A and B are shown apart, each in its own frame.
Chain A
Amino acid sequence: MGAATETFYSVIRRQGITRRSFHKFCSLTATSLGLGPLAASRIANALETKPRVPVIWMHGLECTCCSESFIRSAHPLVKDAVLSMISLDYDDTIMAAAGHQAEAILDETRAKHKGQYILAVEGNPPLNEGGMFCIDGGKPFVEKLKMMAEDAMAIIAWGACASWGCVQAAKPNPTQATPIDKVITNKPIIKVPGCPPIAEVMTGVVTFITTFGKLPELDRQGRPKMFYSQRIHDKCYRRPHFDAGQFVEEWDDEAARKGYCLYKMGCKGPTTYNACSTVRWNGGVSFPIQSGHGCIGCSEDGFWDKGSFYDRLTNIKQFGIEKNADQIGMVAAGAVGAAVAAHAAVTAVKRLASKREDADHNS
């Protein structure tokens, strides 16, 4: 690589827009924003000199579903995000360079854009055996991750893997796959969970950062509030059926055909924070519940270890045998009930016996 830093202006020119049109755009923008005549030249200057935000996209233990989702973004189109908005300097899955050439870009970006670039991480590092379960460019991924994180401006944790651990961290987690916020603790991390996250949510987060030059507002768990502050359930189009008390009881019953609520079929919509029921998937075509299947809660922490996707009540494994809260509660209540009854019986017998004793004494 080694090319001069690409600015927004050079991208605009590359897309066939003349310098004259560019200046017209700057003047028009300044006028419409109500800024003075000097502002037009300042805007032009900024676009000519401000570099596009360099993004390094790394892959740890993952399945590439995040990348698959990302490249299907419709608003904005992924080509606009990758080719115009950001400068995707490194992504070993989709970049042309390979081997030493590719690895050289990492060092170059780190040196040239120290504290300026965004590190996007898909997947997570396994920590067991010194990180030997994920070797990337001859080194454990965890080392590469720490190295690149050191000089990054901010880090995006793509998907459930980077955010929570996902299936490779499922019990007993032999490779000790660890979400990145447990490995990197000194940098702001934006979690964009989902398995995969919604394409538009991914490009939306990238667009926000490049447009405003700052990170979006995050919630308590480090997720962007604009996409993760409400549950699937809160905006589900089947919600009226939930409130009415109309539920699918079997996958092939009349209620399923009528599109009733999938609550009883174990839909995790009521405990899952994501934008599926508003943004939807594949350019807004559909989302799991609309297709007749409950939400599996793929953007939630530990969703892979919470028992069946089709149970309403979560199975609890801490008690040795797998049972849900009602089964455990009923056994406990039954045992205590039996104990109470037995205790009452013994009390009654004792009381009778003592009464007879008293009667004997009196006579």
Chain B
Amino acid sequence: MMDAVARPAETEPDLTAIAADAAGEHAVGRPTVYVYEAPVRICHWVNAFSIIILMVTGYLIGTPLPSVEGEASANFVMGYIRFAHFAAGQVLAVFFLARILWAFVGNHHSRQIFYLPVHRKQFWKEVLHEIRWYAFLEREPKMYVGHNPLAQTAMFTGFTLFVAFMIVTGFALYSEGAGIDSWQHRLFGWVFAIWPNSQDVHTWHHLGMWALVVFVMVHIYAAVREDIMSRQSIISSMISGERQFRD
């Protein structure tokens, strides 16, 4: 109770700073900026957790564990693995959807991973600069409040597009068991118009998992490296929401 009373007084000055930051584009000269709002952070960690469960269980569905002994009625190994996969998949889908909705109401950083300003020359120039920075050809990285253009490109393709693909193919595959009268089949059955044999949908879904594995590896490496090398905080920002700049 004491805590709850004491807190608003503590955070009040911060809140006004946040409002100012969200309005102001340029962060230069400010030590911290509020970038990732709470829903963005919650979605990030829920999705991350779901994706890990989905990868492990998905791999085990494609390559099951060694057989268990005993009566079939006394075991439910594959059943539990599949349940975990379907449950995590639906959690991911809901939070992905929530994340899309938040892009409409959140700050402009919350929209970054859903589009690429491909028509802007400046964008590509800055992508090139980031590539050169990663290729050790630039001495200094540029400072960005949100994602840098290369990171934005990686997030858009590696996360938004790949996860959307996995959700669509995932629900289509789920509809096979749910039946052709299910809402899953009504919404996602069109996938089988593209690949009439669901064996192909399985294969693409499986390849999508590996694409996400590669994305996760690059994503984590880039986050850790930037946290150390660049002039702004990365990992702690996804926990506190605030980006610190240091020079």
Q: Which residues of A contact B (CB under 8 A)?
A: 164, 219-221, 225, 229-231, 234, 240-247, 249, 255, 260, 263-264, 268, 270-271, 297, 300-303, 306, 312-314, 316, 325-326, 328-330, 332-333, 336-337, 340, 343-344, 346-347, 350-351
Contacts and interface: CB of A to CB of B under 8 A. Distances in A.
A346 B211 CA distance: 25
B64 A325 contact: no
B62 A312 contact: yes
A271 B217 CA distance: 31
27 contacts: A220-B193, A221-B196, A229-B180, A241-B72, A244-B68, A244-B72, A244-B73, A244-B76, A245-B65, A246-B68, A246-B75, A268-B199, A271-B197, A301-B197, A302-B196, A303-B197, A312-B62, A313-B206, A316-B207, A325-B203, A329-B207, A329-B211, A332-B211, A333-B217, A336-B214, A340-B217, A344-B225
A263 B82 CA distance: 14
A236 to B, nearest CB: 12
A314 B207 CA distance: 11
Contact of A337 (B81, B176, B202, B217): B217
Nearest to B207: A325
B interface residue count range (under 10 / 10 to 19 / 20 to 34 / 35 or more): 35 or more
Given A220-B189, A329-B213, A314 B67 contact: no
B78 to A, nearest CB: 4
B67 A245 contact: yes
B210 A325 contact: yes
Secondary structure dominating the interface of A: helix
Contact of B214 (A219, A332, A347): A332
A313 B203 CA distance: 7
Interface string B183-205: 00000011011001111101100
A268 B72 CA distance: 21
Given A221-B192, A343-B221, A329 B64 contact: no
B197 A243 contact: no
A333 B213 CA distance: 7
9 nearest interchain CB pairs?
A: A329-B210, A245-B77, A244-B75, A325-B206, A301-B196, A240-B72, A243-B79, A245-B78, A244-B72
Contacts of B66: 249
Contacts of A243: 72, 76, 78-79, 82
Contact of B217 (A229, A247, A314, A336): A336
